[in-house]
């Protein structure tokens, strides 16, 4: 496929409706100076905070990537009945997302990252809200399913971070709904939950997660990708392999190399792949071409600091520059 056609597919992202269902997180970044010794414990760093930043994480980052690429993201998840939850909803509004974030928890799930600013050194991560993680009740599942069923979507993404939203039967119910409508579905699972999601269009873990799903019997990437597709009964398996790019199994085996220039932060790159894949397939691209475009998008965001997105213009420019 020539570069002009790739660019045309990217333009066709505009206006595509993608329902994103999953675990929504708030990413909180604290940036500062770590040059001063810690007077309380000299062996530990002291970060003097000079700036902070909030971003959408988890399923929220999938939705943010879709919106940044011109699609219409419709985000479904839960948040806490707290100030962090209000920030989360505010970020959704700022990003232009349609969303239903129901405050079913006391605390919003927050991942706070401490970054030494001058050298972009990642010092630590602090997680909040984990003690409030529970599966949805049957009534809450029914409420979410009713909302999703009422929405006209072109593609569906399930973003599982093992934080409760998809630990019951909701994921399979909406996958079956998408299949009944003839719509694309992408599943980004945690290994322990992969059995909850069957017959998706695409199953999309990273290599470490894929190895955990298929078991230690399978060692090479090709056999892992094939077995992953078999046991999840998905049409395609797509595995992110970090610096090695992405592998696709669609009845044949394909390896697509990365196009990142210099990796700054891999946080959320899988979310970018999932969202871009959904847009590509919803725009009529063949799976190999949708994966190639998604791989380029991931290559862009890992060059940026923190949870990041890319735009149609940026992605088209990268496609023109790097795809042979």
Is residue 15 classed exposed, middle or buried when 0-12, 13-18 and 19+ CB atoms within 10 A define those classes? exposed
CA nearest 277: which of 266, 287, 263, 267? 287
Tokens for 122, please give them: 């990642």
Contacts of 156 (CB under 8 A, 6+ apart): 18, 19, 20, 21, 174, 175, 177, 178, 183, 184, 185, 186, 278
275 within 8 A of 269, measured Cβ to Cβ: no
CA distance 270 to 206: 8
**Catalytic option among 154, 271, 289, 322:** 271
CA atoms within 13 Å, Cβ hemisphere of 55: 21
271 flagged as catalytic:
yes
CA nearest 132: which of 159, 100, 89, 165? 165
CA distance 108 to 80: 4
CA distance 132 to 195: 24
CA distance 205 to 194: 9
Other beta carbons less than 10 A from residue 46's beta carbon: 16
Instruction: Classify the C-alpha dihedral 99-149-164-211 as positive or negative.
Output: negative
Three-state SS at 112: strand
For the annotated catalytic residues, the residue numbers are 271
């Amino acid at each position: 496929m020539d570069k002009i056609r790739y660019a045309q597919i990217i333009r066709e992202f505009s206006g595509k409706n993608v329902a994103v269902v999953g675990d929504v997180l708030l990413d909180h970044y604290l940036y500062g100076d770590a040059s001063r010794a810690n007077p309380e414990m000299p062996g530990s760093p002291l970060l003097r905070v000079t700036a902070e930043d909030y971003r959408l994480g988890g399923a929220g980052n999938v939705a943010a990537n879709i919106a940044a690429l011109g699609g219409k993201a419709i985000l479904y998840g839960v948040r806490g009945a707290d100030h962090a939850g209000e920030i989360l909803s505010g970020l959704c509004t700022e990003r232009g997302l349609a969303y239903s974030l129901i405050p079913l928890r006391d605390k919003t799930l927050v991942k706070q990252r401490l970054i030494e600013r001058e050298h972009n050194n990642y010092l630590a991560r602090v997680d909040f809200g984990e003690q409030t993680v529970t599966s949805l009740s049957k009534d809450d599942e029914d409420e979410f399913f009713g909302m999703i069923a009422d929405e006209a979507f072109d593609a569906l993404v399930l973003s599982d971070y093992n934080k409760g939203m998809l630990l019951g039967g909701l994921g399979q119910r909406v996958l079956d709904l998408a299949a009944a409508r003839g719509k694309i579905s992408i599943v980004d699972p945690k290994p322990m939950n992969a059995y909850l999601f069957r017959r998706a269009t695409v199953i999309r873990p990273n290599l470490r997660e894929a190895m955990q799903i298929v078991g230690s019997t399978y060692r090479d990437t090709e056999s892992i990708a094939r077995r992953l597709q078999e046991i999840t009964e998905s049409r395609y398996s797509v595995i992110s392999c970090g610096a090695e790019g992405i592998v696709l199994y669609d009845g044949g085996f394909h390896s697509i190399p990365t196009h990142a220039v210099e990796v700054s932060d891999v946080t959320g790159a899988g979310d970018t792949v999932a969202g871009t894949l959904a847009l590509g397939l919803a725009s009529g691209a063949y799976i190999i071409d949708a994966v190639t475009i998604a791989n380029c998008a991931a290559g862009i965001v890992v060059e940026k600091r923190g949870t990041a997105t890319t735009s149609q213009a940026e992605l088209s420019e990268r496609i023109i520059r790097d795809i042979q």
